[in-house]
Amino acid sequence: MELPLGLIEQSLNSRYSLWVREALNDLSDNFTITDPCIAGHPIVFVSPGFLKMTGYTKEEVIGKNGKMFQGPETSRSSVMLIREAVREEKEIQINLLNYRKDGTPFWVFFQMTPVFSKEDGQIIHFVGVQVPILKNSRKSRCGFVRIQGDSHENEFRACKSFLGSCRRELMSDSISELDCTLNRDSQPDSNSRGVEIEEPCEACDDEKQRAAIAISNILFVLTHHSEVTGGLVCERRCSLPRVGILCSSLNTSLNRIKQSFVLTDPNLPDMPIVYASDEFLKLTGYTRCEVLGRNCRFLSGIDTDSSTLFKIKESLQSEQACTVRILNYRKNKSSFWNDLHVSPVHNASGKLAYFVGVQMDADDKKQDEHGLNPKTKQLSTVGAVKVAVRSLSMTVGCSQG
């Protein structure tokens, strides 16, 4: 599915100054920046060096997933390690076989680093640097597997266990060709890119250092241009006190729900808000860092009915849904009548995970583009949140803090 160009551009524009692309283009490193909060985890920036290295144009890369550079002989184990790093929102360094646009394979040292928001600790982007591994630095090892001893047979077995299968390959420049026929089903098919695969290799210390320096330079640019806008970013996760951190997968699912709502965590002291939608921020005028970690009471004011607050409190204690009309206040002190629906959200094992509160400006009575009235939209939002939480609650490490 083709992603709207505006959505891709907003990924950088919403966090950094308008000059960030120019600064990134000035860097000579080969890298991409991806956004895990957009469906499909697309590339939102690609460096000129990366385009020159792979032979693609910018238009062919932006909006696509990084898997477009993989091919028939790319190690599935390496791909799974990268996916695991994305899921756990952590850095990874790995030797990887990629493919250029013309189908030729080439080995790179791949280093990927997450970028977090300083205001709420949520992940924003991943920076992926690719340093080509020079032939004179290559060693007859597969991935990061290191084998003790001089036996070529042991070295070959390590390749089998790491890659699962192999083709006829030269394990070193000084030994004869080994006949790899471990898995006949792994022979290249007619759809392969038709290029003989180079021997597995490992980056040298110089290439690893080049990747580390590139990451440092890119993060410096991103940090500087985020300071200009006030939306600070950092390499290490910084969470606010009392705030639970949601995993990127859950955040991505929640970001697709275009309605004003918040999630509160009943398992934390004073049931703080751990997620606030963009529509909620627009409705109330607050920024995300001003909302996360606070109890929803901060929306109440001098004329808010205490009996309504008590009704909400009772529903929370009994873990029951409730709908009320309550007078709330925006950041600018203006008041609005809020048709609020609160509902418990349980995870896949049936345990109470969150409460979702869906806000609706009582003065906004118009139906949406799908013909849904406000009440139906609220119930639809609750349903979407419950599906997102239940489907992801079994993921290890989905909630931290």
For residue 314, tell me if it sits in a domain. yes
Average pLDDT over residues 313-337: 93
Backbone CA torsion sign across 43, 49, 52, 58: positive
| Pair (96, 31) in one structural domain | yes
Residues 65 and 205 in one domain: yes
Residue 45 CA to residue 62 CA, distance in Å, equals 6
Res 229 pLDDT > 60: yes
Considering the domain boundaries, does residue 379 fall inside one? yes
Q: Is 186's pLDDT higher than 50?
A: no
Which range among 123-127, 145-149, 288-292, 333-337 shows the weakest confidence by mean pLDDT? 145-149
Pair 85, 210 in one domain: yes
User: Amino acid identity, residue 32?
Assistant: T
Residue ranges with strand state E in 68-139: 92-99, 105-117, 123-132
Co-location of 255 and 386 in the same domain: yes
Are 280 and 206 members of one domain? no
DSSP character string of 143-159? TT----SS-HHHHHHHH
Residue range 66-84, pLDDT digits in tens: 999 999 999 999 999 998 8
- Strand 105-117 vs strand 123-132: parallel, antiparallel, or unpaired? antiparallel
Q: What percent of the chain has pLDDT over 90?
A: 46
Question: Based on the domain organization, do 14 and 37 belong to the same domain?
Answer: yes
Asked, for residue 312, whether it belongs to a domain, the answer is yes
> Within a domain: residue 127?
yes
Q: What is the mean pLDDT of the chain?
A: 78
Residues 218, 294: one domain? Answer: no
Last residue of a domain, one of 234, 257, 292: 234
259 φ/ψ angles, rounded to the nearest 5 degrees: -155, 155
CATH of the domain at 271: 3.30.450.20
Name which of 21-35, 246-260, 368-382 the model is least confident about.
368-382
H-assigned helices in 230-305: 248-255, 278-284, 288-291
Q: Residue 113: which domain range? A: 5-138+201-234
pLDDT value of residue 67: 92
Task: Give the residue with greater pLDDT, 60 vs 179.
Answer: 60
pLDDT recorded at residue 233? 66
331 located within any domain: yes
Residues 67 and 213 both lie in one domain = yes
Residues 268 and 346 in one domain: yes
Q: Can you read off the two tokens belonging to residue 236?
A: 């290490």
How would residue 244 be classed by pLDDT, with cut points 50, 70 and 90? low
345 in the same domain as 262: yes
Predicted confidence at residue 55, as pLDDT, reads 96
Q: Do the domain assignments include residue 330?
A: yes
Cα–Cα distance for residue pair 223/234, rounded to 1 Å: 7
* Closest to 78 in 3D by CA, of 144, 124, 126: 144
| pTM attached to this predicted model | 0.54
Q: Are 6 and 63 in contact (CB under 8 A)?
A: no
Place of tokens 């990451």: 215
- Place 393 in a pLDDT band, splitting at 50, 70 and 90: low
> What would the two tokens of residue 107 be?
């080995």
More confident residue, 191 or 134: 134
Instruction: Tell me whether residue 78 is in a domain.
Output: yes
pLDDT band at 224 (very low <50, low <70, confident <90, very high): confident
| Mean per-residue pLDDT, 130-158 | 52
Question: Of 141-155, 239-253, 359-373, which range is least confident?
Answer: 141-155
pLDDT at 106: 94
Least confident of 75-79, 130-134, 198-202, 331-335: 198-202
Give me the percent of the chain exceeding a pLDDT of 70: 73
pLDDT at 371: 56
- Residues 35 and 102 placed together within one structural domain of the fold: yes
Number of domains in the chain: 2
Are residues 290 and 345 located together in one domain of the fold? Answer: yes
